[in-house]
Structure 1
């Protein structure tokens, strides 16, 4: 019978993120999983001092016995990003005063410290960016073409379907594949201030879009339409592209691009 665990409290996660320098303690990658240094099956609780951040590769090494708890404990005592000053080459401890998110050639520039929701479907933010202690934290839900969730990023914490063929970092890119040479999603990180969604599927309550490097594509009764080439600056628009079908109400937050979609 599978063990049911209580969720790790948000305050504990925040403490662990800040202590670990917002990245894997071994290599500094900014997308990570929370690891119990002494296994949860033994301690039966979530304590900040026993939690650390590991990227999927180093977490898998520990799970398979290729990296010992003592080795992880040593890395946790001197996290990579704390030693180096920032993660490299995945440097999400961004400097400067602004952050820029691009989705399908649509760019949204926000003052650091504000919350940005560049893509919203039927009232649900599917891409969200905020800062904490000067670090950029990304939240997103990625889908396959059928509308099933394949990967979730929650304040840079990766959670994904174990049936995915491959999830990896290549240079400055997070790439999700469903088969050899078949990419489902690609997110590119460009220090010191930019994130670009080059390829992805997003879906919520009957409304779906596909992102390519050039555009955001969606279907209506008139066929396939696209949104591309927009550039939006700052605070008046906490939301970027908002698509809403006839079964949902338009949200109250200001949006740069508000698109009513008739899918029925």
Structure 2
């Protein structure tokens, strides 16, 4: 299955709507836009499920079946365990009180590390963007509005229980987001070096260039903390 980088904004919106704003097989709200394996059309698969296709463990017929009946539209699917919320999520990060109405909790050297936004359409998922440092310290957009961008194996994704885990194949780049509830996300562990600045974050503290801080991130503002 091939990526579809040249889709228009309207085409992407239609694909998201048709697929339920998530991977059609597992419901993860981070995905790639991919051409259907046999014939025209496009679907959404998370990086893990797309890997199964590449390994031959998901057949074209199975992908077609999942696309025809996305898991998030099935009655048994528990939407509460994933970030399907019409509002900005509350954030648990850096030892601060729960952050509200803070779309960009942290920037480093002008780079927004995490960005959260409400969905564009009803029943959509919280839009998550993640920007981390590559092996050379230059910023790399790993996720942009829920779209998984790396296609060369330089970053890996895992769903572990209620956690979205992203990690660099080389270097120590890491971001683990725990979906506490549909409208509450904890930054369980984030680690990156970007433009020479070393950042590490947990729900209880943040550390920049070896100095640890607690309760430094502001709430109710566009950017919670600029480093």
Query: What is the TM-score when the length of structure 1 is the normalising length?
Result: 0.69
Does the 8 A contact of 1:126 with 1:202 survive in 2?
A: no
Number of the residue aligned with 1:209: 199
Q: Which residue of 2 aligns with 1:10?
A: 9
CA–CA distance in structure 2, aligned partners of residues 84 and 172 of structure 1? 20
Alignment length (residue pairs): 219
Mapping for residues 30-41 of structure 1, pairs under 5 Å: 30-38=29-37
- Encode CA deviations 1:138-188: one digit per residue, 9 max, x unaligned: 001234686366771111122346145x53111101224569xx9933211
Question: Which of 72, 79, 85 in structure 1 is aligned with 2:70?
Answer: 79
Unaligned 5+ runs, structure 2? none
Tell me the secondary structure at the aligned position of residue 126 of structure 2.
Answer: strand
- Runs ≥4 residues deviating over 6 A: none
3-state SS of paired residue (1:74): helix
Q: Does 2:211 align with 1:225?
A: yes
* Superposition deviation, residue 240 in structure 1: 0.7
Q: Which has the higher strand share?
A: 1
| 204 and 15 in structure 1: CA distance in 2 versus 1, 3 angstrom threshold | farther
* Shift of residue 202, structure 1, vs aligned partner: 3.8
* 2:129 paired residue number: 139
Matched with 1:54 is 45
Q: Secondary structure at the match of 2:99?
A: strand
3-state secondary structure, aligned to 1:162 = coil
Question: Distance between the aligned counterparts of 1:210 and 1:145, measured in 2?
Answer: 16
Q: In 1, Cα distance between the equivalents of 2:46 and 2:5?
A: 22
Call closer, same or farther: CA 1:144–1:211 in 2, change over 3 Å: farther
- 8 Å Cα contact 1:185-1:201 kept in structure 2: yes
| Number of the residue aligned with 2:83 | 92
